[in-house]
Amino acid sequence: MTANTRPVAPGAARRSPAASVLLHVTLVAACAVSLFPVVWLVLTSLKPRDGWLSAELEIFNQPSLTNYARVLGETEFLTWLVNSVLAAGLTTVLGVFLASTTGYALSRHAFPGRRGIMWMLLITQMFPVAILIVPLYNLMAALGLLNQIPGLIIAYMTIAVPFCAWMMKSYFDSIPREIDQAGLIDGLTPFGAFWRVVLPLARPSLAVTAFYCFMTAWGEVAYATVFMSQEEKRTLAVGLQQFVGQHWSDWGLLTASAVLIAVPAAAVFLVVQRHLVAGLTSGATKS
Amino acid sequence: MAVSTGRARSTTRDSADRGRRRAGRDQGPLRRALSRHWYAWAMVAPVMIVVTVLIGWPLLRGVYLSLTDATEANVGRTIGVNVIPASYEFVGLDNYVGILSSGLFWEKLTWTAIWTVSCVVLHYGIGLGLAMLLHRRLRFRSLYRVLLILPWAIPGFVAAFIWRYLFNSDFGVINAMLRAAGLGAVGWLDDPVTAKLAVIAVNVWVGVPFMMVALLGGLQSIPSELYEAAAVDGATPFQRFRHITLPMLRSVSATVVLLGTIWTFNMFPVIFLITRGGPGSETEILVTYAFREAFTGVRNYSGSAAWGVIILALLVVLATVYRRALRRQGEVW
């Protein structure tokens, strides 16, 4: 971890034991708060079938995988999972491609309309779901894209692309222009310089952008709820709502599927989070 | 930012010169601009098309709908072979007048403002506090950091479901703890006040890690010489915090607070999935309310679009005022 080798704020070396204890107690308490819901989720999912009906604080006494078996065997979970993976995966591929070409153009070329486009990318991030959702719904209905995964992907592009283009732009800003120029001198076309020279250098940022696209699409609720009304077209975020409806709920099913969804997402997240934050704030720290 | 645009400008001039030499003299300005910039435009074009078709068009259409009386009943439809023509009409600003003069709007606006301000203040305050703690030399720092980031790693809708279970009045663990402590159980999501506290708590849980990590990055970029110099001059820890840490964090803070405000203002899943806006419509913020207008009961497309336009206008005003305020303090952003 690079942070450990950095000089740290003064005062750290001559901290009194009392202050030290206080520091650790505070951090442990904070960790407990951040960890507890997740731990409880896992514990509940491992209870037997109707175990969720009691909130006894005992650690479960008969661990069982019934809930997982039911989720995988008796519900549409796997169909929804496939839908979610398809929607999120394709959004990621298309989103990263569009965001990187745009980010590159914005970073390297001063052309008429550049400022306007940058403003637009910022503004579109403010768009509330509510204003776009009805016209988009009508547009999708007219094009026959309701209950179709491509329709959902198109809708997700509107959320993911502006932000990702912004992130890619600030990363390209940090790659020296001399590198592109060297590529051009060596006989590459402008696009070749971008594709073969700059893009490989931007790999960390591409990973982050990809991850951001994926998470956006993976966790989206509003568009998916409205556009995907057929049972077998639902994504996870929509399907899960069904387990805990107004009149009937089965938290056993819900907790087990939540664990299945959250664990892979969390694992990947913890790997890339450091880059994610750098990407988010680099535009700000550079100015 | 200033540096990068300066660099970009100078090299474009190079390529412009090349372009001019190639293009000759007898061409019009439009031609010349095209030959100079076609390449950049071509790269931006896909996004421009996506944005225009999928945001621009729906936006215009949304603004238009908000000026009509369109509902599910009178927009045109095709049922089998029968085409039912649209019969909604242009009604001018009626929807806006209706919304702005209703008590409901101001009620929702007040709650949305409370929700946004309290969430962002708590996000930033707790995030900064934890970042300062983590920015010290201490044992298990990496472990603490990973554990504290965990809520961010959980997809939003999953987090919302977890908390809904924790808050459950009969078998939620929070009430179980209260009962174990000898206090009565609370119907968390059944009472307006506790439901509001509950959704704020959840959103704080979800949002703090982002602030913490962003601010920690900011803290780490502050040169330690500044603190050493201040310590030599006899500055107290509070003075160092006030006069070094806060000013040096300004640009990161400006970005994360603006982002946080916009995200919280538009936070859909937490409220939609935890309380469904209930009890009644007490915890409904503007965004979820507009969604409900559009997609429950007789779908009120025009009303929902008008809500959407109002929400967007509020956000644009907010962002502009915010940028102005920053600029007045000498921040080039």
**Mean pLDDT, to the nearest integer, of A105-110?**
84
In tens, the pLDDT along A39-91 reads: 888 888 888 777 676 656 556 667 778 888 888 888 888 888 899 889 988 99
- Which chain B residue has its CA at the smallest distance from A272's CA? B153
More confident residue, B297 or B26: B297
Q: How far apart are CA B301 and CA B64, in angstroms?
A: 11
Alpha helices in chain B (DSSP H): 2-23, 29-51, 57-66, 94-100, 103-134, 141-153, 156-166, 173-180, 192-220, 224-232, 237-240, 246-248, 250-265, 269-274, 286-295, 301-328
CA distance B101 to B175: 41
Q: Note whether A27 contacts B295, CB cutoff 8 Å.
A: no
The stretch B311-324 carries a mean pLDDT of 83
Instruction: Assess whether pLDDT exceeds 90 at residue A184.
Output: no
Residue from A226, A107, A208, A111 nearest A160 by CA: A208
Per-residue pLDDT, A190 = 81
Residue with the larger pLDDT of the pair B330 and B212: B212
pLDDT (mean) for B18-47:
67
Question: What is the pLDDT at residue B200?
Answer: 94
List CB contacts (< 8 A) between B153 and chain A: 262, 265-266, 269-270, 273
pLDDT at B79: 64
- pLDDT digits 0-9 by tens, B164-187: 888 887 778 888 888 888 777 788
- The per-residue pLDDT for A236 is 85
pLDDT of B110-120, one tens digit each? 999 999 999 99
Mutant choice from A38, A115, A131 vs B, greatest count of B C-beta within 10 A: A131
What is the b/e burial string over B212-222, where b = at least 16 CB atoms within 10 angstroms of the residue's CB?
bbbbbbbbbeb
With a cut of 60, say whether residue B21 has pLDDT above it: no
Q: What residue of A is the nearest CA neighbor of B262?
A: A126
The Cα A257–Cα A45 span in angstroms is 8
The distance of B298 to chain A (nearest Cα, Å) reads 14
CATH 1.10.10.60 fits B102-296, yes or no: no
For residues B307 and B72, give the distance between their C-alpha atoms in angstroms, rounded to a whole number.
17
Whose CA is closest to A130, among B65, B74, B111, B294? B294
Question: How crowded is residue A72: how many other Cβ atoms within 10 Å of its Cβ?
Answer: 15
What's the first-to-final CA gap in chain A, in angstroms? 27
Residue B332 has pLDDT above 50, yes or no: no
Q: How far is A219 from chain B (nearest CA, A)?
A: 6
Which DSSP letter does residue A249 get?
B
- Complete domains list, chain A, with CATH: 2-68 (no CATH), 74-286 (1.10.3720.10)
Q: What is the pLDDT of residue A155?
A: 85
In chain A, residues with a C-beta closer than 8 Å to the C-beta of B136 are: 8-9, 11-12, 15, 23
Specify the DSSP class assigned to residue B242.
I
Enumerate the domain spans of chain B: 2-66, 102-296
Taking CA–CA distances from A224, the nearest residue in chain B reads B269
Taking the complete model, does pTM exceed 0.80, yes or no?
A: no
List Cα–Cα distances, A178 to A108, A166, A168, in angstroms.
11, 22, 18
